[in-house]
């Protein structure tokens, strides 16, 4: 999770988030190159005397017309690739349904006969040692790591948004509509998120906690909870 002095992204825990971080770095390098070139040209124009060759040069005009198009292509192609990857949902090993309420989440494991629960934020006075204020919940989502997970997101009352930054997932929860996305956790761990849509007075108190665990642990947990 993020810390107070962090300026960058959280550590990527899914292939999609790794691609997003790489694209962010790629776009920053392109922006740095553009800024450096513009600064160099401004300095050159201030320090040197303009000549007629510089004022009227069709070769230069051709370059500064074609070069921005090449830069846009360099940004557009990887961006479109990531967009298609985020929309691609192969055969998932597990389907999870998240329903947003004011102000808590309900989760249903649709592959199991009777496995669902409500997830509320733990009040500050009830926090255990080592838990994070405003981020801990009474019932975590348990998923098997390195398995394709499909999540279906909807809402029961107003607009919500189910977002977990370290997994690169953010999906709007709209009443009367089902949105879906997918992710794969690449390592075991606990990943935190929050509702990212202003949904009322207690919008800040709708945390999301995902615990990625080995398959054996998930099987024993699911059989215990559904029995």
pLDDT tens digits, one per residue of 31-47:
999 999 889 988 888 88
pLDDT of res. 86: 86
pLDDT of res. 61: 81
Spatial distance between the Cα atoms of 207 and 165, rounded to a whole number of angstroms: 12
Spatial distance between the Cα atoms of 187 and 170, rounded to a whole number of angstroms: 20
pLDDT of res. 56: 63
Spatial distance between the Cα atoms of 87 and 64, rounded to a whole number of angstroms: 35
Spatial distance between the Cα atoms of 89 and 182, rounded to a whole number of angstroms: 6
Q: Which residues of the chain have pLDDT under 70?
A: 49-57, 227
pLDDT tens digits, one per residue of 86-105:
888 878 999 999 999 999 99
Is the separation of the CB atoms in 184 and 14 below 8 Å? Answer: yes
pLDDT of res. 227: 64
Longest dimension (CA), the chain: 85
pLDDT tens digits, one per residue of 159-170:
999 999 999 999
Domains identified in the chain and CATH numbers: 15-87 (1.10.287.90), 94-225 (2.60.40.420)
Spatial distance between the Cα atoms of 186 and 203, rounded to a whole number of angstroms: 30
pLDDT of res. 51: 57
């Amino acid at each position: 999770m993020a810390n107070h002095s962090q300026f960058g992204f959280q550590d990527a825990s899914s292939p999609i988030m790794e691609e997003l971080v790489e694209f962010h770095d790629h776009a920053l390098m392109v922006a740095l190159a553009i800024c450096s070139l513009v600064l160099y040209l401004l300095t050159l124009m201030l320090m040197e005397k303009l000549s007629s060759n510089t004022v009227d040069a069709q070769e230069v005009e051709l370059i500064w017309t074609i070069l921005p198009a090449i830069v846009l292509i360099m940004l557009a192609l990887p961006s479109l690739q990531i967009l298609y990857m985020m929309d691609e949902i192969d055969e998932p090993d597990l389907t999870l349904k998240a329903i947003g309420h004011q102000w808590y989440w309900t989760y249903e494991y649709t592959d199991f006969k009777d496995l669902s629960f409500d997830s509320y934020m733990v009040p500050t006075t009830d926090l255990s040692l080592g838990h994070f204020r405003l981020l801990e919940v009474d019932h975590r989502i348990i998923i098997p790591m390195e398995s394709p997970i499909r999540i279906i997101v909807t809402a029961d009352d107003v607009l919500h948004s189910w977002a977990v930054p370290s997994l690169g997932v953010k999906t709007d929860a709209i009443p009367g509509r089902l949105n879906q996305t997918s992710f794969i956790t690449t390592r075991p761990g606990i990943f935190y998120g929050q509702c990212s849509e202003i949904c009322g007075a207690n919008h800040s108190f709708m945390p999301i906690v995902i615990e990625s665990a080995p398959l054996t642990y998930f099987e024993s947990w699911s059989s215990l909870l559904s029995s």
